[in-house]
A and B are shown apart, each in its own frame.
Chain A
Amino acid sequence: MSKLTVLEFPDPRLRTKAAPVAVFDDALRTLVADMFETMYDAQGVGLAATQVDRHQRLFVMDVSEGRDEPMVLCNPRIVEKRGKQMEQEGCLSFPGIFANVERASWVRAEAEDADGTTFSVEAEGLMAVCIQHEMDHLDGKVFVDYLSPLKRSMLLKKLDKQRRQAG
């Protein structure tokens, strides 16, 4: 296993629309294992393939407190959603930046696992937010796209400033 580099905004590759996963082979399982390692290492709860510059429709996720409930969703699609919630989100491609985003409060998604077996998952709260957040990545969208221009430019300035200070 090896840790992958997470692309950081405004890397244009984050705008790539991912292609469906067609082959469920060892290479895919290696990618999934590497993405988990990368996500856990960064203390993240979700990571889309787009963020590690692999443009296939899949993401990994673990929203559990114990960090022991890994899930991988290949070719995810939301088949049903209900309600609205406004929750704080962060993103490994925007280190240190957090903002409230409106999402469906309950979703049912279908996807394939790393072996190609289709399954269904119902999620609310943080997991529902995470599924929607990661699926956006696969379409080349990022969470700040939902913010007002003013709020967005404020946060991006903050991101810039943090980078200068870290450098």
Chain B
Amino acid sequence: MAKPAAPDTRALAAHALAEIALRGASSREVLARLTPQLPDARDRGLLHALVQAGARSWLRYDIALDRMLDKPLRRKEPTIHALLALGLVQLDVLELPAYAAVAATVQAARSLGRPRMAGLVNAVLRRWQREGDALRAQLDADDVSRWAQPAWLIDAVRRDWPRDAERVLAAANREAPLTLRVNRRHGTRDAYLDRLRESEIAAHAHPELDDAVVLANSTDVTRLPGFADGDVAVQDGAAQLTADLLDLADGQRVLDACAAPGGKTCHALERHRLDMLAVELDAGRVPRIRENLQRLGLDAHVLQADAAQPDAWWDGTPFDRILIDAPCSASGVLRRRPDVRLHRRATDIAALNAIQRQLLDALWPLLAPGGRLLYVTCSLLRAENETIVAPFLAAHADAEALPIALPMGQAAGPGWQILPGDADLDGLYYAALGKRRA
């Protein structure tokens, strides 16, 4: 039996945040599991806002609590520790009305079955209200607590992007816009903007992108006009550049090597009639590709397989276009995936590099002469981008870097880097490799 009344939203958020920040759980998985316990859409919205902001700023407020508490609660009372961090997030980041935020957070301690902690929660939050300016200044004096990012990542950003480091670090802590991709097969972007206007949903066309609509406010996307009928999908603008950079034409044979959840596959198919093979290694994510294809009314061959082992699945017919959206650190999309900074370690990069190289090496022979391979990551680390692509080009006489020039971002080695926040986009890297005709 489930508890008869809906659970306390803040208590549930504290559970979620403790699992994500202290026990390594993925925020996507935790939110998918806990959200159904809240029947009310507004409570669900608050849960998501709390957990996302809580994870995003964990490295700041976790340190703040160490300074405010004589004995840290992290080990003995992890849920209360997370609840305290959420209290600070409500006051400092979400800027909720202080009296309500404090009272509701104290109440959450009670509904977590920790009534004796209620006084402590109240005292910590009141102290933050009184001494917040001084405490914030202390936190801002240290890099990790200033940016709420791990030291290795801050160092890497400064090393790789010395001129842009501050704005890149800041962009990771801003709320990402909700961006839609209009399905061209169902209608024009202008027509869809009209429908949004009729529904009184504020939105504008992205000035640099052909299919993108940026919503002024976050919303339940399933309630957008035509969502269930596949008239639109959710996709960041930076990812929508893939369809342009693939340089597609009707009739091409195309491979999307790391396809889940299928956004880039679908966008390509909305633009052109293609013979598309979407490969995904993770069996758990394959259904998402099929669902997205079905909702958008598109058709592709979907295959659960390791793209780096084409012997097991390739029929021997070359591809005109290959998209490698390679597994990576996700360091360019911290604003959308707030748990990445908590779970990713500097030591993960070498293993990711090995996969990135394997994918390039294994799939290059599948590309037809005159064809194009697009290497994409959502990373801003040079180690995952030009450091992978440049040696590949040097080692393959039949490979050449094709020029990319986008209205945002900058050239980076043989490819192009969009840094997080450029034109308010996610941070993605693109390199286009052409295969010379023999």
Give every chain A residue within 8 A of B119 (Cβ-Cβ).
none
Other-chain contact of A98, B6, B32, B33 (Cβ < 8 Å): B6
Closest-by-CB residue of B relative to A68 is B113
Task: List 18 other contacts, CB 8 Å, given A65-B113, A88-B5, A98-B4.
Answer: A43-B7, A43-B15, A44-B1, A44-B3, A45-B2, A64-B113, A66-B113, A88-B4, A90-B3, A91-B2, A92-B2, A95-B2, A96-B37, A96-B39, A98-B39, A126-B4, A164-B222, A166-B32
A43-B4 in contact (CB<8A): no
How many chain A residues sit at the interface, stated as a range, is: 20 to 34
Give every chain A residue within 8 A of B15 (Cβ-Cβ).
43
A96-B36 in contact (CB<8A): yes
B1-A95 in contact (CB<8A): no
B36-A133 in contact (CB<8A): no
Give every chain B residue within 8 A of A65 (Cβ-Cβ).
110-111, 113, 115
In the complex, 13 of the A-B residue pairs with CB atoms within 8 angstroms, ordered by the A residue number, are: A43-B2, A43-B7, A43-B37, A45-B1, A46-B1, A61-B1, A66-B113, A89-B2, A95-B37, A97-B39, A134-B1, A165-B222, A166-B35
Q: Mark B4-41, 1 if CB is under 8 A from A, else 0.
A: 11110000100100000000000000001111111100
The 4 closest A-B pairs by CB, nearest first: A90-B2, A95-B36, A66-B113, A46-B1
B39-A130 in contact (CB<8A): no
Give every chain B residue within 8 A of A95 (Cβ-Cβ).
2, 36-37
Q: Which of A61, A126, A165 has the most CB of B within 10 A?
A: A165
Please tell me if B200 contacts chain A, counting CB pairs below 8 Å.
no
Give every chain B residue within 8 A of A134 (Cβ-Cβ).
1
Q: Mark A132-167, 1 if CB is under 8 A from B, else 0.
A: 011000000000000000000000000000101111
Q: Mark A93-117, 1 if CB is under 8 A from B, else 0.
A: 0111110000000000000000000
| Minimum distance in angstroms from B27 CB to a CB of chain A | 15
Please tell me if A67 contacts chain B, counting CB pairs below 8 Å.
yes
B1-A96 in contact (CB<8A): no
| Minimum distance in angstroms from B20 CB to a CB of chain A | 14
| Minimum distance in angstroms from A86 CB to a CB of chain B | 11
Give every chain B residue within 8 A of A58 (Cβ-Cβ).
none
B1-A43 in contact (CB<8A): no
B3-A45 in contact (CB<8A): yes
Binding site for B on A (CB under 8 A): 42-47, 61, 64-68, 87-92, 94-98, 126, 129-130, 133-134, 162, 164-167
| Minimum distance in angstroms from B52 CB to a CB of chain A | 17
A92-B1 in contact (CB<8A): yes
| Minimum distance in angstroms from B56 CB to a CB of chain A | 22
B220-A165 in contact (CB<8A): yes
Give every chain A residue within 8 A of B1 (Cβ-Cβ).
44-47, 61, 89-92, 129-130, 133-134
Give every chain B residue within 8 A of A46 (Cβ-Cβ).
1
- Complex Cα distance, B36 from A65, in Å, reads 21
Binding site for A on B (CB under 8 A): 1-7, 12, 15, 32-39, 110-111, 113-115, 220, 222, 291
- Complex Cα distance, B6 from A94, in Å, reads 13
| Minimum distance in angstroms from A64 CB to a CB of chain B | 7
| Minimum distance in angstroms from B37 CB to a CB of chain A | 6
Closest-by-CB residue of A relative to B3 is A45
| Minimum distance in angstroms from B14 CB to a CB of chain A | 12
Give every chain B residue within 8 A of A44 (Cβ-Cβ).
1-3
Give every chain B residue within 8 A of A129 (Cβ-Cβ).
1, 4
- Complex Cα distance, B38 from A34, in Å, reads 25
A89-B4 in contact (CB<8A): yes
- Complex Cα distance, B114 from A134, in Å, reads 27
- Complex Cα distance, B3 from A133, in Å, reads 12
Closest-by-CB residue of B relative to A92 is B2
Closest-by-CB residue of A relative to B32 is A166
Give every chain B residue within 8 A of A89 (Cβ-Cβ).
1-2, 4
Closest-by-CB residue of B relative to A39 is B1
A43-B113 in contact (CB<8A): no
| Minimum distance in angstroms from B434 CB to a CB of chain A | 39
- Complex Cα distance, B36 from A91, in Å, reads 12
A90-B4 in contact (CB<8A): yes
Give every chain B residue within 8 A of A126 (Cβ-Cβ).
4
| Minimum distance in angstroms from A34 CB to a CB of chain B | 17
Other-chain contact of A43, B12, B115, B220 (Cβ < 8 Å): B12
| Minimum distance in angstroms from B437 CB to a CB of chain A | 45
- Complex Cα distance, B32 from A71, in Å, reads 28
Q: Which of B1, B4, B12, B34 has the most CB of A within 10 A?
A: B1
Q: Which of B15, B35, B38 has the most CB of A within 10 A?
A: B35
Give every chain B residue within 8 A of A47 (Cβ-Cβ).
1
Closest-by-CB residue of B relative to A167 is B291
Contact A87 B4, CB 8 Å, known A65-B113, A164-B222, A166-B32 = yes
| Minimum distance in angstroms from B284 CB to a CB of chain A | 13
Q: Which of B35, B36, B38, B291 has the most CB of A within 10 A?
A: B36
| Minimum distance in angstroms from A121 CB to a CB of chain B | 16
- Complex Cα distance, B3 from A130, in Å, reads 9
Other-chain contact of A162, B4, B36, B110 (Cβ < 8 Å): B36
- Complex Cα distance, B1 from A134, in Å, reads 7
- Complex Cα distance, B5 from A129, in Å, reads 13
- Complex Cα distance, B361 from A92, in Å, reads 48
Closest-by-CB residue of A relative to B35 is A166
| Minimum distance in angstroms from B35 CB to a CB of chain A | 7
